[in-house]
Every structure is written in C-alpha cells, then in structure tokens.
A and B are shown apart, each in its own frame.
Chain A
Amino acid sequence: MSLSNIFNVSGSAMSAQSLRLNTTASNIANADSATGPDGQPYRAKQVVFKTVPYGDIENSGVKVDQVVEDKSPPRLMYDPKNPLADPNGYVAMPNVNPVEEMVNMISASRSYQTNVETMNTAKNMLMKTLTIGQ
C-alpha cells in the first residue's frame, strides 16, 4: 500500500520538528543560566536535519542527524556583585540568541502543522480508496 508510506514520512518529519522545538524550548529556558553542572554557562544547542530513504526512491523522511552546540563566545554581562563575576566584574552568560530562537520556534511549529495536514490528506485519500466498488 503505497499511500501509507506517507504516514512514515510525515511522522518522521513530525518527530524531527518536535525535537527541534524541544531544543528551542531548552535554549529559551536556559537563556539566563550563567552556570551549569560543569560550572560553565549554558551553550545554545541546534539540531541538524538529514534525509533518510524509506523503501522506494520517492520516499524520503527526515531524522535529526546530530545536535550541535553553538560555538560562538558567551555573552559578557557587567555585574560585579555576582559571585560568578571575573576580576573585571563581568559574568559569562549563555550565547542564546532569543530572536533566532523565536524564529526557530515559529518555523518548527509551522512545519509540524504542515506535516499533520499532509497526514490528514493522505488519510482522507486512503478512506476514499476504501469506498471503491461500493
């Protein structure tokens, strides 16, 4: 049944996009986490998508290939009262860019919605197919 492959393809895209949304949520939540388990400020994380073939040549799903850490330097904030401040009075803050994260969030949510619609259309087509000959 070739149409049911659409469920696999859209499903893979939905889980990839929800992981991206998860990463964004984690980045936004930790936008001010000046220290973590390793004593370093939180580093923004980004997902990298990759195409994976599903059976035939025309089916290509998505998966998250890897989650990479943003290599840009931490944001320095002047706050001499903070116990984490260096001798010059600066605290290293996470390198999370809130604007970028908001854009990522909207993009991931829209892509997720589109894939849900794709799945619904495929389901309607399958249901219609079942009425052949009735």
Chain B
Amino acid sequence: MVAKLDDYLRFNEAALDLRAQRQQLLASNIANADTPNFKARDIDFAKTLQDVLGQQQSPVKPLPAVQMARTSPGHLAGIVPPNNGLDDEHLLYRTVTQGSVDGNTVDMDVERNQFTDNGVHYEAGVTAVNAQIKLLLSAIQPG
C-alpha cells in the first residue's frame, strides 16, 4: 500500500526535485554574472527527468556512496539516496550568443527568463501534488 502511494506521487516528486535543483543552478549562474571565466550551465529538463525516472524504476539501484556504521541491529541503515542525475553528463554548458572579454558566458536576460520560468513551473508542480493529495483524501473519506 505504501509502495503504491510512493509510486502514485513519484513522478511529481522527481519533477519538483529536479526543478529545485535547476533553480539552484540558475541562481548560481546569476550570482556569477560578474565572475571572470565563469561558464553558465543548465540541464535539458525533459531528458534529465526521463533519466531520473528510469533510474528509480530499474530494479538494480546504484550503490550509495557512503554507508553509516551500525553497531546494533536496531540502528537505522541511513542509506544515502543515489544522486539525482545531475552529473557531468546532464550538466550542459550554455551556448554563447554574445561573448564577453573576461570569458564569462552568463547572459543575464536568458538566465532571468529561465529562472522565472522554472519558478513558475515549480509552483505548478506543487499545485499538481496538492491536487493528487486532495484526490487521495476524497477517495478515503466516506461519501
């Protein structure tokens, strides 16, 4: 039953998580708008989300990087969840439209545009999760 609930909410959870990570990425780009030689980075959202979902549904999960030492069988395992796919394969570099002399590739218009767009999508995701939960609640309540 709990696994079914997990499956039910998994897609939106993964999407929200990825949106949050992309928001961080864009915030870093904006913060480094004046840093010499900084290269702006972004992800292909659709492809990364597909990869994240595929990774979670596959039966063989990658081993966690660090395990906690357990000295009693009552201790919790404390398994670190696998990385959500934001590795070098998914972190792409932005194509430069107007280069600058100091080697910085942050285009403030593009970054702010994407930042706002990503934020709105995140809020849409939250609304979708809320709708799913409302649906569940109405299903368990006596009519």
Asked whether A and B interact, the reply is: yes
B contact residues vs A (CB 8 Å cutoff)? 16-17, 20-21, 23-25, 27-28, 30-36, 38, 41, 86-88, 91, 108, 112, 115-116, 119, 122-123, 126, 129-130, 133
Residues from chain A with Cβ under 8 Å of B34 in the complex? 17, 20, 49, 62, 107-108, 111
Could you say which residues of chain A place their CB within 8 Å of the CB of B25? 58
Alpha-carbon distance A21/B91, docked complex (angstroms):
32
Query: Which of A6, A20, A49 meets B24, CB within 8 Å?
Result: A6
A5 CB to closest chain B CB (Å) equals 6
Q: What does DSSP make chain A's interface, helix, strand, loop or mixed?
A: helix
Q: Are A13 and B119 closer than 8 Å at their CB atoms?
A: no
A33 to B25, CA, bound (A): 43
Instruction: Give the interface centre of B24, B108, B123 by most chain A CB atoms within 10 Å.
Output: B24
- Considering the chains assembled together, what is the distance between the CA atoms of A128 and B20 in angstroms? 12
Cα distance A105–B62 in the bound complex, in angstroms: 50
Q: Are B91's CB and A58's CB within 8 A?
A: yes
- Chain A residues with CB under 8 Å of B126's CB are 128-129, 131-132
CB of A121 within 8 A of CB of B91, answer no
Contact status of A13 and B31, CB under 8 A, knowing A49-B36, A114-B108? yes
Shortest CB distance B11–A (Å): 15
A53 to chain B, nearest CB (A): 9
Q: How far is the CA of A105 from the CA of B104 in the complex (A)?
A: 19
Of the candidates B16, B21, B33, B122, the one whose C-beta lies within 8 Å of that of A111 is B33
> Smallest CB-CB separation from B108: which chain A residue?
A114
A3-B20, A114-B112, A133-B133 given; A60·B32 CB < 8 A: yes
